[in-house]
């Protein structure tokens, strides 16, 4: 398997910034961790790369009915669990073969390791909340090794 670059975006809340699009260009796959805001955001992201998205607590309009609450996907040999809120991550992911959990919701960019799982929150790429950065993230997958990165967007 060759290496994969997975773009991570969350909490756009209807605002897809050109800086976020530029950062995600060239990714092999994009994951949106919820609070999308409008279906047009998904349409634009799909033009950049294959897209997997989950609905967030603010995605309540009819268009979001087709967006699942949880996605479990395998990119290469890497199992990724995608859900909006970290509180909804099951305890048995590592035992089920997953390596990564990607969440949104808090708007706080974060990379940490817990119970043998890499947890990544790319932060919010939409409207700025409080003094938190506007950011996206990446998963870099090479063979069975996963590395996560965060990138603050200059807005």
pLDDT tens for 108-127 read 999 999 988 999 999 999 99
pLDDT of residue 18: 96
Q: Print burial letters for 67-106: b (CB count within 10 Å at least 16), e (below 16).
A: beeebebebbebbbbbbbbbeebeeebeeeebbbbbbbbb
pLDDT of residue 77: 86
Domain boundaries, given as residue ranges, for the chain: 4-152
pLDDT of residue 115: 84
pLDDT of residue 143: 82
State how far the alpha carbon of 42 is from the alpha carbons of 110, 118, 150, in Å.
Answer: 23, 25, 21
pLDDT of residue 130: 86
Give the pTM: 0.96
Q: Note whether 8 and 122 are within 8 A (CB).
A: yes
Instruction: Report the DSSP beta bridge partners of residue 107.
Output: none
List the structure tokens of 42: 């998904």
**CATH architecture, domain defined by 4-152:** 4-Layer Sandwich (3.60)
145-152: strand order across its sheet: 51-53, 29-32, 4-9, 135-142, 145-152
d(C-alpha 77, C-alpha 19), whole Å? 30
Q: Which residues of the chain have pLDDT under 50?
A: none
d(C-alpha 145, C-alpha 114), whole Å? 16
State how far the alpha carbon of 108 is from the alpha carbons of 23, 36, 74, in Å.
Answer: 18, 16, 25
């Amino acid at each position: 398997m060759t290496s994969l670059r997975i773009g991570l975006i969350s909490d756009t809340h209807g605002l897809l910034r050109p800086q976020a699009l530029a950062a995600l260009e060239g990714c092999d796959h994009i994951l949106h961790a919820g609070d999308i805001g409008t279906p047009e955001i998904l349409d634009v992201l799909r033009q950049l790369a294959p897209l997997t998205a989950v609905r967030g607590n603010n995605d309540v309009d009819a268009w979001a009915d087709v967006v699942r609450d949880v996605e479990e996907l395998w990119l290469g040999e890497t199992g990724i669990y995608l859900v909006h809120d970290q509180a909804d991550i099951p305890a048995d992911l590592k035992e089920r073969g997953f390596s990564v959990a990607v969440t949104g919701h808090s708007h706080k960019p974060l990379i940490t390791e817990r119970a043998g799982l890499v947890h990544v929150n790319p932060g919010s790429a939409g409207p700025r909340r409080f003094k938190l950065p506007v950011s996206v993230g990446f998963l870099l997958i090479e063979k069975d090794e996963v590395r996560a990165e965060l990138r603050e967007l200059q807005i």
